[in-house]
Amino acid sequence: MNLLVHAVGAWIAAEAASGRYPRPVAVGLSMLIARLGAPTAAMTMLAFAVKRLNEAGAFERLKTAPSPRRRPIRAR
């Protein structure tokens, strides 16, 4: 349960840092999430870094991997 609370806090903090929420809401959320401590801060930094890399296109090759084409089975 503790891990879930920290993960949700990190997700909300990463969304607030990316500019999804208006400034007063983001500041309030940041103050609440800061009370969760170091594990949430570490997860937040990791989530924000992955989100920025995703927006920059670092994972495009993984998303658009071509699917292997299968030849149809012929009846004999």
Structural domain of 39: 2-63
Residue 18 confidence class, pLDDT cut points 50, 70, 90: confident
Residue 40 lies in a domain: yes
Number of domains in the chain: 1
Residue 57 lies in a domain: yes
Separation of first and last alpha carbons in the chain: 57
17 band by pLDDT with thresholds 50, 70 and 90: confident
Query: Could you tell me the pTM of the whole model?
Result: 0.48
Q: What tens digit of pLDDT does each residue of 35-75 get?
A: 877 877 777 788 788 888 888 888 887 766 566 666 667 76
**pLDDT tens profile 20-40:** 888 888 788 777 777 877 877
Is 31 a domain residue? yes
